[in-house]
Amino acid sequence: MFRSLRHIQVMSRRSYSDSLAKYPFLKELGITSSVNQGVYDGKSWKANGEIIESVNPSTGEPIASIQQGNVQDFHRCTAAAHEAYGTWSDLPAPKRGEIVRQIGDALREKLIPLGKLVSLEMGKILPEGIGEVQEFIDICDYAVGLSRTYSGSILPSERPGHVLLEAWNPLGVVGIISAFNFPVAVYGWNAAIALTVGNTVLWKGAPSTSLVSIATNRIVSSVLEKNSIPGAVASLCTGGADVGEAMSSSEKISLVSFTGSTHVGQQVGTTVQGRFGKHLLELGGNNAIIVNEDADLNLVQQCLVFACCGTAGQRCTTTRRLFLHKKVYDQVLGSLVKSYSTVLTRTGDPLDEKTLYGPLHSEAGVRGYLATVEEIVGQGGKIEFGGKKIDRPGNFVEPTIVTGLPVDSRVVHRETFAPIVYVFSFDSLDEAVAANNSVKQGLSSSIFTRDIGNLFKWIGPKGSDCGLINVNIPTNGAEIGGAFGGEKHTGGGRESGSDAWKQYCRRSTVTINHGRDVTLAQGIKFE
């Protein structure tokens, strides 16, 4: 059910020792040259599953080995998390918020080394790796305030001597399945909020970023241990499809938060719904930017490159479709091609501060990119820039700009997790909005315009149908203060800020008779 990423078989201990010598921050994070245990049940780090190897996507070289969890490990962690829930949920919310605050502080102390590990293992450039850890820190800060402010409601009753309350209580154990492209932040969005409202969490990160999962969970568990809180409040079980399937099927997991592909997310949702559990799905995106004829083209130029090829096109919010008004089409396209040429000169090691463009995360990603380029050419598309694998070690491909395809092309409507953007010309804004909404995904969208009428049309009922609607900014780079998520085949789930905390709670309407008489609702007499 879950896709397993391919890993090289374990090589010599010497290779891992070389990695530790080359990357001293690994030791600082508790990563060793021996087999790193990928399961934490709150008491010990002990796994019983397959031994895999973490690979540096920019070189293809091994970093370290990990022993993953198996289904038995998952059930052990689930039982421990369920037991820890009793202790954790009894703590007053502000006390839980204080623990989450300390988690944020512990992450601050490891900001640079953990950010470097994200860049090393995932492949995103260093500012993005550090920025991702900062996002976990920021959501911890946000959660501290939430711990003193999240609340229910008092509602008027139609009956004398009665009052209606709306109460929000934690669900129990929240299972978090995160993807390789944001191996820290997605866990942080979920865990910080879920913990604050009283749940315990069990995390299964992507197999190919298991070192990040282990290092992050070690930081979190150190805070729990320091405060004599059961470690299983935040447990970890790395693993493959079998662990993901067990999490989706287990009735002891009250909510499954899944981030990944639409195909797998649909299976997760069906499995969880089959047992009447709750799910939170953050799935694919096929995001578009509309550049209207009245747009500030200086703003457009500043935003487009990061929107289209930041993180080598591996953000769920990456811009994959670009709609340019016919009056600005040639100018914007020409500028984008020129900018891509500059980006290509700054391709390299993600840990090098001068690097602007890193590798795809996996060889499978490269194969998908090349297959899509072949399909584009076969359908009559024109490659304006890129379209090839870069001749160097690692998973590097050229950022790619495509023109000449119909808006409704099959390849355009399918999300390819790579730096490929399809460019189209339009005559009217209505035409562009309809094209934006024509795909099955509904995550992020943006318009560049200086017309206030266009702006309000874009954010209104006949505008963008996405969960994230932007004006004069890229489709990517959402802030933690708003609810993050999308519509349609993106899954409908919401994480992070605003009232997304309600996803992690059960909602109860409480009716209290504080008078001396019994009055039935709707004026019913039963005498």
Catalytic residue numbers, as ranges: 282
Token pair of 376 as six digits? 């584009």
- Counting Cβ atoms within 10 Å, is residue 408 exposed (0-12), middle (13-18) or buried (19+)? exposed
502 backbone dihedrals φ, ψ, rounded to 5°: -65, -20
Helix (H, G, I), strand (E, B) or coil at 255: strand
Identity of the amino acid at 383: I
C-alpha 26/C-alpha 212 separation (Å) is 10
43 and 224 Cβ atoms separated by less than 8 Å: no
Q: Are strands 468-471 and 441-442 parallel, antiparallel or unpaired?
A: unpaired
- Counting Cβ atoms within 10 Å, is residue 136 exposed (0-12), middle (13-18) or buried (19+)? buried
Question: In the chain, what is the greatest distance between 2 CA atoms, to the nearest angstrom?
Answer: 87
| Residues forming a β-bridge with 432 | none
264 backbone dihedrals φ, ψ, rounded to 5°: -70, -40
Q: Are strands 51-55 and 444-448 parallel, antiparallel or unpaired?
A: unpaired
- Counting Cβ atoms within 10 Å, is residue 49 exposed (0-12), middle (13-18) or buried (19+)? buried
Helix (H, G, I), strand (E, B) or coil at 225: helix
Nearest to 195 by CA among 483, 501, 479: 501
494 and 503 Cβ atoms separated by less than 8 Å: yes
Q: Are strands 39-40 and 234-237 parallel, antiparallel or unpaired?
A: antiparallel
- Counting Cβ atoms within 10 Å, is residue 188 exposed (0-12), middle (13-18) or buried (19+)? buried
Query: 24-45 b/e with 16+ CB inside 10 Å = b?
Result: ebbeebbbebebbbbbbbbeeb
C-alpha 318/C-alpha 336 separation (Å) is 15
CA 516 to chain centre: 53
